């Protein structure tokens, strides 16, 4: 998420600041980042990615360890790493778009609370206390349907980031069209290895 972290959520600014502190601390010899995320904000992902790239450029080795999921923004922030390791069951890849608005009209109805009123237009009194008007639903649907152009641009930008760091990546639609289990990627260079069991000293930082 953008800004500072909250309970259960990774904040882009908070995480970037921690990475920056590690980069500037001469006692820190390497940065190991554990990623277990379905993704999130594009802005937050790029803030974290840029700080990891700065750490690598400063000569600090960066290792990413993927958990059960490192999809979308989770892989985005992993791209600057010298070395990426994942479990055989890790889900990674995937960039998509959707829209959600939570409404509470059913909950209010269950306790006998109802909302009514008048307005100058169908959209003037949109509220979470009532179901979305058809006009708002249509606006959201059009936004989602027109989203692929923006998502395709983001996908191409992300793919170029990946190729810069993982030069042997096979250019296949499967790499960006959805989550893919690591068993399907063992012949690719989207990650450096499957589960790091050896000492980090035995791994090459130049991958």
Per-residue model confidence as pLDDT tens for the chain (207 residues): 676 766 667 778 898 999 999 999 999 999 999 999 888 787 888 899 999 999 999 999 999 999 888 888 888 888 888 988 888 888 887 655 667 788 898 898 899 988 888 888 877 888 888 888 888 888 888 776 666 565 566 666 666 666 666 555 444 444 444 454 444 444 444 555 544 444 444 444 444
Q: Which domains can be identified in the chain, with CATH numbers? A: 1-94+161-207 (3.90.226.10), 96-145 (3.40.1750.10)
Give dist(CA 65, CA 132) in Å, integer.
41
Calculate helix-pair angle for 12-24, 42-57, nearest 10 degrees.
10
CA angle 109, 115, 117 (to 5 degrees): 155
Give dist(CA 102, CA 142) in Å, integer.
19
* Whether pTM exceeds 0.75: no
């Amino acid at each position: 998420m953008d800004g500072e972290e909250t309970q259960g959520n990774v904040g882009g600014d908070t995480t970037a600041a921690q990475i920056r502190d590690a980069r500037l601390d001469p006692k820190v010899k390497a940065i190991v980042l554990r990623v277990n995320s379905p993704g999130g904000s594009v802005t937050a992902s790029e803030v974290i990615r840029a700080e990891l790239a700065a750490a690598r450029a400063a000569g600090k080795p960066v290792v990413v360890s993927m958990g059960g999921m490192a999809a979308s923004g989770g892989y985005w922030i992993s791209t600057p790493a010298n070395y990426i390791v994942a479990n055989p069951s890790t889900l990674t890849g995937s960039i998509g778009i959707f829209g959600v608005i939570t409404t509470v009209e059913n909950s209010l109805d269950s306790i006998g609370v109802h909302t009514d009123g008048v307005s100058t237009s169908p959209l003037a009194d949109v509220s979470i206390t009532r179901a979305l008007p058809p006009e708002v639903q249509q606006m959201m649907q059009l936004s989602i349907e027109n989203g692929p152009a923006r998502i395709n641009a983001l996908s191409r930008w992300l793919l170029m980031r990946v190729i810069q760091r993982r030069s042997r990546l096979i250019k296949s639609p499967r790499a960006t069209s959805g989550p893919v289990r690591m068993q399907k990627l063992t012949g690719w260079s989207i990650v450096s290895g499957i589960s790091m069991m050896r000492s980090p000293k035995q791994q090459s930082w130049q991958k």
